[in-house]
């Protein structure tokens, strides 16, 4: 699932492909913004961890879950 994160006072967005579900990402964002955590912490598909200060988040865009298609003519 593609996740786009905009950080205040930066011109570029962070884009990661995450194996986490939409509800897991939403819960992590809610926890970071509620003050329970100082950071939004997400893991990407390659095992890397992305940490963004919660007070610097502009928006988080969670893409749709999709199944990867393999082969020719896959629809």
For the chain, the structural domain boundaries read: 2-62
What is the CATH architecture assignment of 2-62? Roll (2.30)
- Quick one: pLDDT at residue 66? 62
Residue 31 CA to residue 57 CA, distance in Å, equals 13
**Contact assessment for residue 41 and residue 54, using Cβ atoms and an 8 Å cutoff:** no
Verdict on whether the full-model pTM lies above 0.85: no
- Structure-model confidence comparison of residues 3 and 75, the more confident one: 3
Q: What are 12-62's pLDDT values in tens digits?
A: 999 999 989 999 999 999 999 998 779 999 999 999 999 999 999 999 999
Residue 55 CA to residue 34 CA, distance in Å, equals 10
φ and ψ of 74, to 5 deg: -70, 140
């Amino acid at each position: 699932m593609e996740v786009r994160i905009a950080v205040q006072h930066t011109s570029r967005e962070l884009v990661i492909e995450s194996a986490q579900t939409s509800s897991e990402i939403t819960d992590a964002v809610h926890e970071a913004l509620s003050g329970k955590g100082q950071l939004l912490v997400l893991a990407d598909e390659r095992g890397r961890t992305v940490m963004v200060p919660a007070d610097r988040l502009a928006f988080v865009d969670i893409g749709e879950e999709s199944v990867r298609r393999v082969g020719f003519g896959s629809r």
